[in-house]
Amino acid sequence: MAKSSAGSEGVRATLWISASAGVLLAGLALSIPIAAQTEKPTIFTTTDFRQDRALWTDPAYYRNNTPGQLRGMAINVEGRRTGQELSARPYGSQGTGRADAASLKSPYPYTNAWDHYQALLKQANGGTKHTRQTLPDWSGHWGGGAQFGGGAPASSIAAMLTPKYRETFVQEMKAATEGRIWSANSICLPGGYFDAVSAEEFVVTPGRVYAMGSGNGSFTARWIFTDGSPHSPKDKEFVKWHGESIGFWNNDELIVHTNQIHGWKGGLSEFSDQLETVERYRLVGDRLEGEITLYDPEVYVSPINARLRFQRDKETAYEDRMQFNTCTDTNGPSPNVYMDAKGLLNERVAGDPLYWEPADPRPWATYLTESDKRYKASGLKPTPRTGTPAKPVK
């Protein structure tokens, strides 16, 4: 019995020690700040965003910021606070994105743009044949375009992209918060299809609609054929910066199908040569209202739908008059041409990390990847007030 009693005491002692150790470990755990135990990386704190794939569709990863709010962190928050400065935000600040602010998924049952367009043409009984007297008046100067995502957080857009394009989107968002914004326009290349969708003037005729726009370094033009002519024959098709557009009228509504679009960057993200769109426009007072539906199975997990909104100016200020412009007028020559350390005109050649390869289908990504490397090697860190770095942190 004595032996048995001693064994019981030993068991009790062992249990007491184990329990005490458990309490001690629990106490140590409780002494560690809860945030340190549970905090997940965000786009602002991560050391390698590519390791965070499981978080890319979580609003918390972007601190609930919309893409516009993330880009605003590249702008110095101090200053006049007018124009572009109004979108400035402190780096890493909490955003106001709402997942229910906009639905990006197309409400239509179609899997391709042509079926969508043909269904609308059938509903319109082949379309309305207008004369100059019956066409709606779209004259004047307009401001607006496609509204993608509205107030939705960046995670909502990431969720609509296939893995390859989701990664490039997150890379772009992270770089933008740090003041590194690279686009086609950054290196004096055309803005592409979505720049042309944001037209400023429309010329409406019985057989064509011309949509034109101009910016600081660009001029865009689209020809929308409404005379009943089809797209180019298959053997004559090739990708174009603004695509090829045909359309028809359903009473006072213009419906447009565009294909042969040069894969580029714009809208939600990058897009491929497979992009085709269906647009609808209708005049309501001094507004053009409608929608655009995007079909690109390489990029989007399902077709995308966004609102089109344009407001007609009451009068066209002289500074808003359209003019032909090119990027080199304001930003200088091709990025391959530069002044070297000797003060001589020089040109970058293949092998230089900043060489622009004319056949590169994603030149902004080439520059952004090189920017990632240089930014990391520099030791620069975003300042608290703006994502634009001030100096290396020692």
Tell me, yes or no, whether 388 lies in a domain.
yes
Distance CA 54, CA 46 (A): 13
Residue 69 belongs to some domain of the structure: no
Which CATH number do you get for residue 262? Answer: 2.40.128.20
Highest mean pLDDT among 26-40, 177-191, 284-298, 329-343: 284-298
**Does some domain include residue 48?**
no
| Angle (CA) 47 48 54, round 5° | 120
Q: What share of the chain is helix, strand, coil (3-state, %, to 5)?
A: 30, 20, 45
Task: Share the mean pLDDT of the chain.
Answer: 84
Residue pair 274/296 in contact by the 8 Å Cβ criterion? yes
* 296 Cβ neighbours under 8 A, 6+ residues apart: 271, 272, 274, 275, 276
**What is the C-alpha to C-alpha distance for residues 165 and 259, in angstroms, rounded to an integer?**
20
Which domain range does residue 328 map to?
99-392
Of 368, 370, 367, the closest CA to residue 356 belongs to 367
Supply the pLDDT for residue 187. Answer: 75
Q: Domain total for the chain?
A: 1
DSSP state of 83: G
Distance between CA atoms of residues 266 and 259, nearest Å: 16
> Confidence class of residue 11 from pLDDT cuts 50, 70 and 90?
very low
**Residue 172 belongs to some domain of the structure:** yes
Strand partners, 291: 280, 307
Residue 248 lies in a domain: yes
- Report yes or no on 282 lying in a domain: yes
Determine, yes or no, domain membership for 183: yes
Structure tokens at 123: 């509903």
CA distance 161 to 261: 19
**Inside any domain, residue 119:** yes
pLDDT per residue over 205-262, tens digit each? 999 999 999 877 788 999 999 999 999 999 999 999 999 999 999 999 999 999 999 9
Over residues 90-100, mean pLDDT: 92
Query: Can you tell me the distance from the alpha carbon of 200 to that of 311, in angstroms, rounded to the nearest whole number?
Result: 10
Determine the average pLDDT of the residues in 276-305: 98
Q: Can you say whether residue 125 is alpha, beta or left, with left for phi > 0 and alpha for psi between -120 and 50 degrees?
A: left
pTM, full prediction:
0.80
Asked if residue 332 lies in contact with residue 306, where contact means CB atoms within 8 angstroms, the answer is no
DSSP-assigned beta bridge partners for residue 356: none
CA dihedral for 36, 39, 41, 44, sign (positive or negative):
negative
